[in-house]
Structures are given as structure tokens and as C-alpha cells.
């Protein structure tokens, strides 16, 4: 009996070949085992159990047709083949679409039904699939997905790569890298599930499940790969549907379902691999020798049974002698003047991905039922109306465009919503955060629509008063609220929130001397577990005690309040709501310990416009109910939507200066805007429009191979990457970057203007 | 050669049958640790801080997640008893009794049914000698050490109908109900519960049935 085993890479992220070889050897002591590899740099080829080696040239060089014929010859002569590599198995499936009785790998049809991320074939298993979306969608929607999942998301390739993308710029970088490595744009973003990692391994022959076993990872490498685990039989409630699934797929070979079990015991399927896992021999140690069962079924020869040695296994690192006939390859030359050697997989697996993709894009593409999106975002009608009011030809670009009707609609809706959320006991009012955009037109809209003005400096207070706010409509907070000196209004303010214990003591003094007056005086709390430089910390019993004692120093004649602020766009929407609940608990503790009742709650902010404006109003209704239940003396809730108001209210027009096409189809276009006008370019996507030269219509830009480079002579001045310029775009055309009215506007600076 | 090794290892394994250890008599009547309360603001502030902090640290995860933050904030080691709420939160190092008492409080504050749990675990003579040294250096009682066995406290949490998980607060992990024998394994467990249902039905812990309020051997 001759058994061919591939996938012998045995590094920190090993392939299963060596484990398969050890297990086959245990079941069939006298079998001839042939190691198949595509590089002599793969250390597993030196493993002692291998009787013969069949080393091929790397995938990048291999003549696939000739090699395919050789493999067929080997199988026809009775050799059994267990593939230890996903891509090799996929390629074999393309050579033998209906399988071969000696090929112990899944047939072509099965692959299509296990592609990540949906794993359609597993729909009968008692597992859930974590939410995911295709990166074919517009950046605008991808950003929304990340916010909705608290930035705990994974960008995954169609095979086995995955990168955590906790911020937008990391997402952009990872998308570029994965697209290049796997020669495909078909990536997807998947929500993270936290829990314990476990796997089910299976072996099947021609649709019959031969055996399966469950493993919990008990120790993992920094890459999350198994180092130690415990092995147990598969729960019958899982095994039965698994047996059906295997029959349905006509599965042959090994397989692995990688899962996470959450705190409630629910299993989430991360992926299904078309081969045995690298821990395969760990199961053999525990008495579940699935490779031997597989060979037994295919060859009709009974495997030698072995007693289980333990129900737990771990790994050790071993030095083994190098075989004379395959000495180590030459030492790689370090890159001149740089760091490191080649980082590529020694067998050139990624180039197999490229070749497979070119041969049959469908074969390894992500199964996609719905029409492929083109990355073109939806742009609200009011944006188009507002931009149409400008004579783009005559604009002196770069230029911010005030989006009048958009802004009016946003402020009016926010005012109406606050009114609807108010009850007889609790008034809900919006606060306009002046720092997000101090444009007087926006401050004026805030005043008209019943907002309070939120200021972080006395200059901002003066600005609010100048536009027409009364002092008792102004909230002052932040660490620099006494700056500049001597500008504190003598009149009574609506509320002042203190950023530190020292700030609170200063306010207490100022109230006593009459230097400052305010109806409410409160504290901003620094919620634990979220990094912030603001507010009074609660992270130790000592800081909490200091806060409680400081609150007790507040004079009785001012009403007390609490301010809590965290950018929901950074931490994610669900996490923001958790923080809200957490803050209520802290407030209740502060009330009980100080005897001071909280009358005003100020909750910010940093909401992404779509999250704030389109989110289900019932969430806010419930929040008001929660406040009433937990803090019954609160009479006013100030809700600070932050950039949700400002961001859509302005756009930035810029002109294309030059377009350069490169040999690799990429396009570099230089524009007269820059990161000086668009400092948020790395933190959030912007919807971009171009006015068609002929029709004058505004066309949104989809995804493509163009990079828009700013006018500044600075390496990082790139205002957009991977966009598609519509046909006919020329130098001189105007591009409109929407969603630029928040910090893009307020933090823009003068640079490179002479 | 390889096969020979495997076979002899299998024989060794079969020969070494580990008899389940009985808990030492000295812990038969042992009460579980309880934090004291001065009945004043000092202790109330500390207790409220622990509960509010626990919710903040939960960070949106399931309420059935273990409060690992407590182990990150408080090292495991000798601590003197009796201990008040206002003492325990200010310490750097607390023993398993204090860890278990804090975990009990936060699980209950999350609305879960949680119970004090006592364990007898097997380590080695070398391990208990080491621990005896560090406890004696702090002049703290070593009543919990006995040969290769130790007395340990944890917190049992009801996660389904009659089903328990056992949180080892000073390890920051759930106790594995599948571990039978060997270094670090649980030999006996006692879960305190006063509901009539628990008293008549007991609990399920992994594959085992656990009666309430009495020592039960594992394995
Ligand atoms: Zn006290
Ligand atoms: Zn202990």
C-alpha cells in the first residue's frame, strides 16, 4: 500500500501533513508513505516516518497539466492521496471534478458549497455564522458595518487569511494587502465572536462519514493556532446532521469545522476546511485515528487499532536530522540595505491562488447569490440639490460648499425628535457642539431648532452669544473652559461640567466668589474600559472616593448633573449603548453615596450621521425610559449628536490637476485639494461626486484603481485610494467630497498656500 | 521504533490507575469566606465600586462571562482575615476566599444565581511547601494546605436548568469539569445553596451530578 501525503510545512502555522503521516503510520505500520511537497525548504519532508519523497518545483513554476497527468498515473496505479493543503485540494478537485476512488480529497461540487463565509453546506448543523458582508459594497457601507460591530471585525480572504481591522486606516491597508496576496477583490468583513475556540474534525469516504471528533483549544499560538487541546467525542446532536451533510456533499477526505463557542454555549462557525487540521495526530493520541479510518475505507485493508494514550495533547518542538538526498537549500541573501529575507510561503502557495484564479475565477471565488455591487454609494437627494445650486465651473477650488437644505433638514429633524422624546417629567434637548463646526449658519440653525449651545472655551461661548444664544442656553465643559482668561460671562449659564477634581474645586470657588454662575454644575465621568483623556476617572476605589468627596463639596443651591461623552463612531454603536447603561449604574452609585440627586444628564456624542439620524427611534425612547427608572430626579437630558449635524452639512470641492495612467492599470490623479482641507480622510470614507462634462449630472464614484493625490508635496497627502473615475474624466474636472462638514472643516488648516 | 514507544507508553498509562483522593477531614466543617461590612460608607463605597466596575468591564459581553478583570486587578496570594469591603478593594493581593467573595457579589449583581463553592485540589508536596513558605512569610494561616492537597474557594454560577459552571476567581478561568486526577485537578467540591429546589435536586456540573451543601468526590 502506497499513501501520498502533502502539506508538510511544519512551522509555527503548520500544515497537517506530518500529523497525517504519523497517524497513517500508526494504523498501517507497513505502508509505504510518500511525502509530496513543492519546496525543499519545508521542514516536514525530513520527518522519519516518510519512506519516500516526491518533491515538485514550487507552484509558481510547475507545469500544471503535466503534473496533473502524473498525479492521475499515481492514483490509477493504486496510490492513495491525502491532501494536506486547501489550495492543492482545490486544484485536484479541478483535475478530478467527480473525484477518483484513490483521491482522498473532496470533489469539485463540495468546494463550492463550503466557501467562506456562508458555508452553505452547514445550514443543518447546530451552528450560527457570524454576520459578514462582501467588500464589493461601497466604503460608506463597510464603515457602517464596522461601527455596527464596534470595530471588532475581521477582514478575511477567500482562503485562510484574516486580519483584524480595528480602525478605518487599518482596514484600507489590510484590504490592499489581502487583495494583492490572493489576487482577488472578493474579500469579506466578518463580525468577531468572542468565546472559546473549538473544532470538529471528520473523515469521510464517498459521502459516508467514517468518524468525527471534537477538540477544544487549550493553548494557542499568537496567531491563534492550536498548540494544545482536549479531545472528546462529538455530541450526537451535531454528529447526525454532520453525517447528512457529508452524504449530501458526497465528501471524501478529511475536513475541519472551525468554531467559537460563546458564553451562552452557542457555536459559531468560522470556516470549513477541505482537509484534516494540523492537530490531526492529537486526536489519534486520544484514540481517534481518522486518517487511518480514511485509508482503511479506500484500500479495504483494516487499520491497526491503538489504545488511547490520553484525552489531551500538546506540542513540542523537535530537531530532526536533515535527509542527505534533500540537503537544506542555500542561505537566502539578505535584501541589500533592507531588513529580512523572503517572507513568502516556501512552496509558493499564493502563486497557486493566482493561477487557479486565472484558470477559473468561479472555482475559488466567494459564492455570491446577489448581484455584485460596484462600490457606488447612495447619495442623498438633498446633497445633489445643494451642490447643484453652485456654479462649479467658477469655483475657486479647493472650496467648502455649505449644503444649506441638507443642514436645515438635519437640524429640523433633530429638533423634532428631541420634542417627541420629551415627556412631562423629562425634557430631551439637543446640544450643538460648536467645535464640530463653528460656522455661524450652523450655530444659527441650532438656535432656531431649540438646541442648547455646547462650548469648550470662552471664545466658543462668546460665539454662541454673538449668534443669539442667551447665557442660560449655553453649556460649558471641557478641560480648557477658563480659557481665555477674563471672558467668563457674569450671567447665569445653563450648565457647567467639570473635567477633573481640580476643575470642580475651582468651579466651587468661582461660584462662591460670584466669578461664575450656573444653574447646573456637574462632572464629566471617565468611563472605565474605554481609553479617554477626559473626565474624572473611576478606575480605582481611590479615584472613585475622590470623585464622591468632590461632589459633596458642591454648594447645595446649584443643581447637580453628570456628563458622559464618547465617540460612538470610534467605539461602535452597540458599545456606546453599553457605555450608556454602564454610566447609569455609576450615576446611581454616585447618587446613593453622595446624597446628591442628578437633575441633568448630558450624553455625547461623536455620532456618525447615519447612525444618529437613521437609527431606530425606539432605542432613544427606551433610553429615556431607562434614565427615568434609574435616576428618577433627572428633569433634562441633553443629547449631543456631535458631528452627526455638522458632517453632512458641508462638502469640499476640488479640481483635478493631472491624470497619469500607469502600466499596471492603476491611475494616479493629482487634485488641488489636500489633507489640509480633508484631515479626516484616513478616519472615515467620504462619498465623492464628479460632475459629468456633457450632461452636467453628478456621478458618484465607485471603487477602482485610481488614487487621488493631494497638491501638497507630502508623502502622505493622498485624499482617496481605490476609486474609479467615471469615463471621460479630464484634468480641470471638479470632484465633490461630501461628508466634509465636521472635523474636516473645523480642523482644516492653511498649508502649502504660500 | 516509533511504534514500540507508543505501545510502552500505553502500557505505563494503563498501569498507573489513580485512586480518587478523599478530601482531608480537616476541611469537612470548614466555612466559606465572607467579606465583612463596617455598616458604613467606607464599605458601601467599595462594594458599589466593584459592582459598577464589573458592569463597565463587561463591555457588552454576556453576563455569563467570567469577571476576569478582578484577577487582573488583584493578584492571588496571602491576605489576612477577617477582611472588610473597604480593605479588600485597596489591597494588591488577595487570597482565593476574597476572590470568590468578590466574584459571588458581581455575579449576583448581574442577576445570576451564584453560590459559594469549595474545592479540594491535588497539586504536589513541592507546590504546597512553596505556598506554605509564602503564606508563613506574611504570617497568614496555612490551614488550606495538607500534603499534596489544597483547600480552595471558587464561585458556582447557575447557567441553565440545574447546570453549574464554576468560576475560579484567583485563576481567572472556569474550572474544567472534565479533568480527572492529576496535577491541579479537582478531587472534591462542595456548593452551598439554600433554595429547596437545589437542596432536593442538586446540580449538574459537566457530566457530574453535584448534591448541594456537602462535599462530593469527583471522578
Ligand atoms: Zn469599611
Ligand atoms: Zn485557594
ipTM comes to 0.90
Lowest-confidence pick of A79-88, A103-112, A538-547, B9-18: B9-18
Neighbours of ion ligand 1 (CB under 5 A): B 38, 42-43, 84, 86
CA of A592 to the centre of ligand 1 (A): 16
Question: How large is the greatest C-alpha to C-alpha distance in chain A, in angstroms?
Answer: 100
Assign B15 a pLDDT band (cuts: 50, 70, 90). Answer: very low
What is the full DSSP assignment across A636-700?
EEEEE-THHHHGGGEEEEEEEEEEEE-TTS-EEEEES--TTT-TTTTTS---EEEE-TTT--EEE
Our CA-based measurement puts residue B182 at a distance from the nearest CA of chain A, in whole angstroms, of: 12
Best mutation target, B52, B180, B207, to test chain A (most A CBs within 10 A): B52
A17 Cβ contact partners less than 8 Å away, ≥ 6 residues apart: A5, A6, A7, A8, A9, A10, A35, A44, A84
User: Hey, is the C-beta of B196 within 8 angstroms of any chain A C-beta?
Assistant: no
A230 has a chain B CB within 8 A of its CB: yes
Ligand approaching nearest to the C-alpha of B98:
2
- Indicate if the pLDDT at residue A193 is higher than 80: yes
Q: Which of A48, A578, A589 sits opposite B52 (nearest CB)?
A: A589
Instruction: Name the pLDDT band for A647 (thresholds 50, 70, 90).
Output: very high
pLDDT for residue A598: 98
Instruction: Give the number of whichever ligand sits closest to the CA of residue B131.
Output: 2
C-alpha separations of B15 from B11, B18, B43, B148 in Å: 6, 9, 55, 21
pLDDT of residue A340: 65
By the CB < 8 Å criterion, does A544 face chain B?
yes
In this predicted model, what pLDDT tens digit does every residue of A295-345 receive, in sequence order? 999 999 999 998 999 999 999 999 999 999 999 988 877 777 777 655 567
Helix (H) or strand (E) run with residue A708 in it:
strand A703-709
**How far is the C-alpha of B219 from the C-alpha of B209, rounded, in Å?**
11
Strand partners, A399: A653
Other beta carbons within 10 angstroms of residue B123's beta carbon come to 18
Contact B89, B83 (CB under 8 A): no
The answer to whether A525 touches A583, Cβ cutoff 8 Å, is yes
Ligand 1 centroid, distance to B102 Cα (angstroms): 15
Q: Residue A408: what pLDDT?
A: 97
Among chain B residues, the shortest Cα distance to A545 is held by: B45
Q: Do B53 and A538 touch (CB under 8 A)?
A: yes
Give the model's pLDDT for residue A115. Answer: 79
Q: Is the predicted pLDDT of residue B24 greater than 70, yes or no?
A: no
**Cα(A602)–Cα(A432) distance, rounded to whole angstroms?**
12
Q: Residue B149: nearest ligand to its CA?
A: 2
Phi, psi of B104 (to 5 degrees): -60, -45
Among the listed residues A37, A1, A2, the one whose alpha carbon sits nearest the alpha carbon of residue A18: A37
DSSP-derived letter for residue A265 is: S
Q: What is the DSSP letter of A12?
A: S
Please report the pLDDT score of residue A25 as a whole number: 98
Contacts of residue A510, defined as CB under 8 A and 6 or more positions apart, other chains included, come to A488, A516
Separation between Cα atoms, residue B112 and residue A614, nearest integer Å: 35
| Contact flag A306-B55 (C-beta cutoff 8 Å) | no
The three-point CA angle A263-A265-A269 to 5° equals 100
At residue B26 the predicted structure's pLDDT band, cuts being 50, 70 and 90, is confident
Taking CB atoms and an 8 Å limit, are B61 and A581 in contact across chains? no
Distance A523 CA to ligand 1 centre (A): 26
> Ligand 2 centre and the CA of B96: distance in Å?
4
Specify the pTM: 0.90
Separation of CA B94 from chain center: 13
* Interface probe with A: pick from B50, B53, B165, most Cβ of A within 10 Å: B53
- The helix/strand/coil state of A452 is strand
How far apart are the C-alpha atoms of A358 and A341, rounded to whole Å? 28
User: What pLDDT, on a 0 to 100 scale, did the predictor assign at position B22?
Assistant: 55
- Write the DSSP symbol of residue A607: -
Pairing of strands B149-160, B114-122: antiparallel
**Arithmetic mean of pLDDT, B56-81:** 94
- The partner residue sitting opposite A194, judged by closest CB among B2, B14, B61, is B61
Closest B-chain CA to A582:
B56
**How many C-beta neighbours within 10 Å does residue A371 have?**
7
What are A59's three cell numbers? 507552484
Cβ neighbours of residue B146 closer than 8 Å, sequence gap 6 or more: B24, B26, B128
Buried b (16+ CB within 10 A) or exposed e, A236-257: eebbebbbebbeebbbbbbbbb
Confidence label for B5 from pLDDT (cuts 50, 70 and 90): very low
Q: In 3-state terms, what secondary structure has residue A348?
A: coil
A466 vs A121 pLDDT, higher one: A466
Question: With an 8 Å Cβ cutoff, is B171 touching chain A?
Answer: no
- Between positions 18 and 47 of B, the ones with CB within 8 A of A are 41, 44-46
The candidate with the shortest Cα–Cα distance to A158, out of A120, A124, A117, is A117
Question: Where does the pLDDT of residue A480 fall: very low under 50, low under 70, confident under 90, or very high at 90 and above?
Answer: very high
Grid cell digits, residue B188 = 472534591
Q: To the nearest whole angstrom, how far is the Cα of A701 from the nearest Cα of chain B?
A: 37
Alpha-helical regions (H) of chain B: 2-15, 41-58, 68-73, 85-88, 96-109, 125-137, 196-201
pLDDT of residue A605: 75
- Grid cell for residue A163: 486580519
Q: Three-class SS of residue A437? A: coil
Residues listed for chain B: 219
Top residue of A22, A48, A263, A530 to mutate, by most chain B CBs within 10 Å, is A263
Name every residue whose Cβ is closer than 8 Å to that of residue B196 and which is 6 or more positions away in sequence.
none
Q: Closest by alpha carbon to B216, among B177, B183, B189, B179?
A: B189
CB A285: neighbour CB atoms within 10 A?
Answer: 23
Query: Which ligand lies nearest to the CA atom of residue B30 in the structure?
Result: 2
The cell numbers describing A478, all together, are 471641557
Q: At residue B81, does pLDDT exceed 70?
A: yes
The C-alpha atoms of residue A396 and residue A653 are separated, in whole angstroms, by 9
pLDDT band, residue B79 (cuts 50/70/90): very high
Percentage helix, strand, coil, to 5, in chain B? Answer: 35, 25, 40
Quote the CA–CA distance of A435 and A747 in Å, as a whole number: 9
Interface of A with B in 309-328 (CB under 8 A): 309-311
Answer whether residue A372 shows pLDDT above 80.
no
Pairwise CB contact (< 8 Å): A529 & B57 = yes
pLDDT band at A715 (very low <50, low <70, confident <90, very high): very high
Q: What does the pLDDT average to over A529-535?
A: 84
The SS3 call for residue A480 is coil
Ligand nearest to the CA of B46: 1
Long-range contacts of A526-534 (CB under 8 A, 24+ apart): A527/A564, A527/A566, A527/A579, A527/A582, A527/A583, A527/A586, A527/B56, A528/B53, A528/B56, A528/B57, A529/B56, A529/B57, A529/B59, A530/A566, A530/A571, A530/A575, A530/A579, A532/A566, A534/A478, A534/A479, A534/A499, A534/A565
DSSP per-residue codes, A554-572? S-TTSEEEEEEE--HHHH-
**Which residues 8-47 of A have a C-beta within 8 angstroms of B?**
25-26, 29
Instruction: For residue A240, give Cα distances in angstroms to A124, A210, A212, A501.
Output: 10, 12, 11, 62
Cβ B49–A265 below 8 Å, yes or no?
no
Which numbered ligand comes closest to the C-alpha of A545? 1
Q: Match 455649505 to its residue by C-alpha cell.
A: A402
A586 touches chain B (CB under 8 A): yes
The confidence score (pLDDT) of residue B13 equals: 39
Rounded Cα distance between A545 and A182, Å, is 55
Q: How far is the CA of B97 from the centre of ligand 1 (A)?
A: 18
Q: What are phi and psi of A382, to 5 degrees?
A: -65, -30
Of A528 and A590, the one with more pLDDT: A590
The neighbouring-strand residues paired with A240 are none
Of B3, B14, B178, the CB nearest to A29: B3
User: pLDDT-based confidence at A180, cuts 50/70/90?
Assistant: confident
Q: Is A578 on the interface with B (CB under 8 A)?
A: yes
What SS3 state is found at B101?
Answer: helix
B45 and A545 within 8 Å at the Cβ level: the answer is yes
Does A541 contact B52 at a Cβ distance shorter than 8 Å? no
Q: What is the dihedral of CA B131, B132, B133, B137, to 10 degrees?
A: 110
Average pLDDT, chain A: 92
Q: How many CB atoms lie within 10 A of CB A609?
A: 22
Is the bond preceding residue A605 a cis peptide, omega within 30 degrees?
yes
Any CB–CB contact under 8 A between A703 and chain B? no
Interfacial A residues in 92-131 facing B (CB < 8 Å): none
Q: Which residues contact A375 (CB under 8 A, 6 or more apart)?
A: A136, A137, A138, A139, A702, A703, A704, A724
Contact at CB, B60 and A574, closer than 8 angstroms:
yes
A29 neighbourhood in chain B, CB within 8 Å: 3
Chain B residue nearest residue A286, CA to CA: B10
Residue pair B212/B199 in contact (Cβ under 8 Å)? The answer is yes
B34 C-alpha to center of ligand 1: Å?
A: 14
pLDDT in tens, A32-70: 999 999 999 999 999 999 999 999 999 989 999 999 999
Confidence of residue A362 (pLDDT cuts 50, 70, 90): low
Q: What is the mean pLDDT of chain B?
A: 89
Chain A interface test: which of B3, B16, B18, B45 (most A C-beta within 10 Å)? B45
Closest A-chain CA to B165: A263
pLDDT tens across A509-529, in order? 999 999 999 999 999 999 887
Average pLDDT over residues A383-409: 95
Residue A643, pLDDT > 80, answer yes
Q: Is the pLDDT of residue B14 over 60?
A: no
Amino acid at each position: 500500500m502506497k499513501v501520498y501525503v502533502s502539506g508538510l510545512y511544519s512551522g509555527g502555522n503548520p500544515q497537517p501533513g506530518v500529523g497525517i503521516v504519523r497517524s497513517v503510520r500508526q494504523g498501517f505500520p507497513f505502508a509505504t508513505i510518500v511525502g509530496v511537497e513543492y519546496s525543499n525548504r519545508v521542514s516536514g519532508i525530513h520527518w522519519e516516518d516518510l519512506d519516500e519523497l516526491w518533491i515538485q518545483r514550487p507552484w509558481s513554476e510547475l507545469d500544471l497539466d503535466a503534473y496533473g497527468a502524473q498525479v492521475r498515473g499515481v492514483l490509477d496505479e493504486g496510490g492513495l492521496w491525502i491532501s494536506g493543503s486547501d489550495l492543492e485540494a482545490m486544484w485536484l478537485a479541478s483535475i478530478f471534478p467527480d473525484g477518483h476512488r484513490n483521491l482522498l480529497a473532496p470533489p469539485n461540487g463540495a468546494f463550492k458549497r463550503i466557501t467562506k463565509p456562508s458555508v452553505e453546506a452547514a445550514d443543518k448543523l447546530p451552528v450560527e455564522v457570524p454576520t459578514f458582508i462582501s467588500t464589493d459594497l461601497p466604503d460608506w457601507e463597510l464603515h457602517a458595518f464596522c461601527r455596527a460591530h464596534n470595530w471588532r471585525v475581521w477582514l478575511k480572504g477567500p482562503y485562510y487569511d484574516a486580519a483584524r481591522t480595528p480602525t478605518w486606516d487599518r482596514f484600507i491597508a489590510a484590504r490592499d494587502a489581502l487583495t494583492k496576496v490572493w489576487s482577488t477583490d472578493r474579500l469579506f468583513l466578518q463580525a468577531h465572536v468572542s468565546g472559546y475556540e473549538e473544532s470538529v474534525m471528520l473523515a469521510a469516504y464517498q459521502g459516508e462519514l467514517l468518524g468525527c471528533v471534537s477538540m477544544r483549544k487549550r493553548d494557542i499560538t499568537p496567531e491563534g493556532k492550536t498548540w494544545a487541546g482536549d479531545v472528546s467525542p462529538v455530541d450526537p446532536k451535531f454528529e447526525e446532521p454532520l453525517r447528512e451533510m457529508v452524504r449530501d456533499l458526497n465528501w471524501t477526505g478529511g475536513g475541519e469545522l472551525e468554531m467559537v463557542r460563546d458564553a451562552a454555549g452557542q457555536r459559531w462557525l468560522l470556516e470549513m476546511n477541505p482537509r484534516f487540521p494540523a492537530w490531526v495526530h492529537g486526536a489519534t493520541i486520544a484514540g481517534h485515528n481518522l486518517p487511518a479510518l480514511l485509508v482503511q475505507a479506500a484500500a479495504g485493508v483494516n487499520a491497526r487499532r491503538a489504545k488511547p494514550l490520553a484525552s489531551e495533547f500538546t506540542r513540542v518542538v523537535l530537531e530532526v536530522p536533515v535527509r542527505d538526498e534533500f540537503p537544506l537549500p542555500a542561505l537566502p541573501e539578505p535584501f541589500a540595505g533592507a531588513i529580512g529575507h523572503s517572507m513568502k510561503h516556501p512552496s509558493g502557495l499564493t502563486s497557486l491562488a493566482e493561477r487557479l484564479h486565472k484558470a477559473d475565477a468561479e472555482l475559488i471565488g466567494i459564492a455570491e447569490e446577489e448581484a455584485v455591487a460596484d462600490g457606488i454609494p447612495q447619495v442623498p437627494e438633498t446633497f445633489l440639490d445643494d451642490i447643484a445650486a453652485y456654479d462649479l465651473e467658477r469655483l475657486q477650488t479647493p472650496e467648502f460648499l455649505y449644503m444649506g437644505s441638507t443642514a436645515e433638514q438635519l437640524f429640523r429633524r433633530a429638533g423634532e425628535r428631541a420634542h417627541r422624546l420629551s415627556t412631562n417629567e423629562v425634557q430631551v434637548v439637543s446640544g450643538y457642539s460648536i467645535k464640530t463646526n463653528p460656522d455661524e449658519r450652523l450655530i444659527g440653525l441650532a438656535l432656531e431648532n431649540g438646541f442648547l449651545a455646547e462650548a469648550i472655551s470662552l471664545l466658543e461661548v462668546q460665539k454662541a452669544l454673538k449668534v443669539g444664544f442667551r447665557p442660560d442656553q449655553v453649556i460649558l465643559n471641557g478641560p480648557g473652559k477658563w480659557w481665555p482668561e477674563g471672558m467668563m460671562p457674569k450671567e447665569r449659564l445653563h450648565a457647567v461640567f467639570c473635567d477633573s477634581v481640580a476643575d470642580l474645586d475651582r468651579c466651587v470657588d468661582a461660584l462662591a466668589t460670584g466669578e461664575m454662575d450656573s444653574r447646573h454644575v456637574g462632572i464629566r465621568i471617565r468611563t472605565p474600559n474605554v481609553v479617554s483623556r477626559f473626565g474624572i476617572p473611576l478606575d480605582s476605589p481611590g479615584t472613585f472616593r475622590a470623585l464622591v468627596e468632590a461632589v459633596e463639596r458642591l454648594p447645595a443651591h446649584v443643581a447637580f448633573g453628570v456628563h458622559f461623552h464618547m465617540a460612538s463612531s470610534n467605539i461602535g454603536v452597540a458599545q456606546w449603548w453599553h457605555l450608556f447603561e454602564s454610566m447609569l449604574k455609576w450615576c446611581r452609585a454616585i447618587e446613593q453615596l453622595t446624597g446628591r440627586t442628578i437633575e441633568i444628564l448630558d450624553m455625547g456624542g461623536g455620532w456618525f450621521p447615519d447612525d444618529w439620524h437613521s437609527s431606530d427611534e425606539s432605542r432613544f425612547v427606551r433610553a429615556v425610559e431607562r434614565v427615568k427608572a434609574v435616576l428618577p430626579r433627572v428633569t433634562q437630558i441633553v443629547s449631543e449628536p456631535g458631528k452627526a449635524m455638522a458632517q453632512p452639512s458641508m462638502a469640499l470641492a476640488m479640481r483635478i490637476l493631472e491624470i497619469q495612467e500607469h502600466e499596471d492599470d492603476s491611475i494616479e490623479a493629482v487634485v488641488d485639494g489636500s489633507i489640509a482641507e480633508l484631515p479626516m480622510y484616513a478616519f472615515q470614507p467620504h462619498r465623492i461626486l464628479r460632475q459629468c462634462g456633457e450632461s452636467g449630472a453628478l456621478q458618484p464614484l465607485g471603487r477602482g484603481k485610481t488614487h487621488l493625490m493631494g497638491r501638497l508635496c507630502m508623502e502622505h497627502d493622498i485624499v482617496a485610494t481605490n476609486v474609479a473615475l467615471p469615463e471621460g474624466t479630464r484634468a480641470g474636472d471638479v470632484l465633490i467630497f461630501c461628508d466634509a462638514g465636521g472635523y474636516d472643516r473645523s480642523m482644516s488648516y492653511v498649508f502649502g498656500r504660500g | 521504533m516509533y511504534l514500540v514507544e507508543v505501545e510502552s507508553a500505553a502500557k505505563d498509562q494503563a498501569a498507573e490507575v489513580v485512586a480518587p483522593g478523599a478530601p482531608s477531614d480537616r476541611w469537612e466543617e470548614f466555612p466559606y469566606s465572607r467579606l465583612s461590612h463596617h455598616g458604613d460608607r467606607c464599605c458601601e463605597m467599595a462594594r458599589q465600586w466593584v459592582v459598577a466596575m464589573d458592569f463597565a468591564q463587561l463591555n457588552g459581553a454576556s453576563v455569563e462571562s467570567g469577571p476576569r478583570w478582578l484577577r487582573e486587578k488583584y493578584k492571588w496570594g496571602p491576605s489576612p482575615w477577617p477582611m472588610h469591603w473597604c480593605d479588600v478593594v485597596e489591597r494588591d493581593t488577595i487570597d482565593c476566599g476574597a476572590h470568590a467573595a468578590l466574584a459571588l457579589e458581581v455575579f449576583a449583581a448581574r442577576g445570576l444565581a451564584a453560590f459559594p463553592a469549595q474545592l479540594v485540589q491535588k497539586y504536589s508536596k513541592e507546590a504546597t511547601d512553596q505556598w506554605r513558605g509564602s503564606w508563613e512569610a506574611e504570617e497568614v494561616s496555612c490551614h488550606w494546605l495538607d500534603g499534596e492537597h489544597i483547600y480552595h474557594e471558587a464561585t458556582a454560577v447557575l447557567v441553565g436548568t440545574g447546570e453549574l459552571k464554576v468560576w475560579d476567581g484567583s485563576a481567572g478561568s472556569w474550572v474544567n469539569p472534565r479533568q480527572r486526577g492529576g496535577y491541579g485537578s479537582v478531587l472534591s467540591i462542595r456548593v452551598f445553596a439554600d433554595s429547596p429546589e437545589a437542596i432536593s435536586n442538586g446540580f449538574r456540573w459537566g457530566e457530574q451530578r453535584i448534591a448541594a451543601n456537602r462535599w462530593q468526590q469527583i471522578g
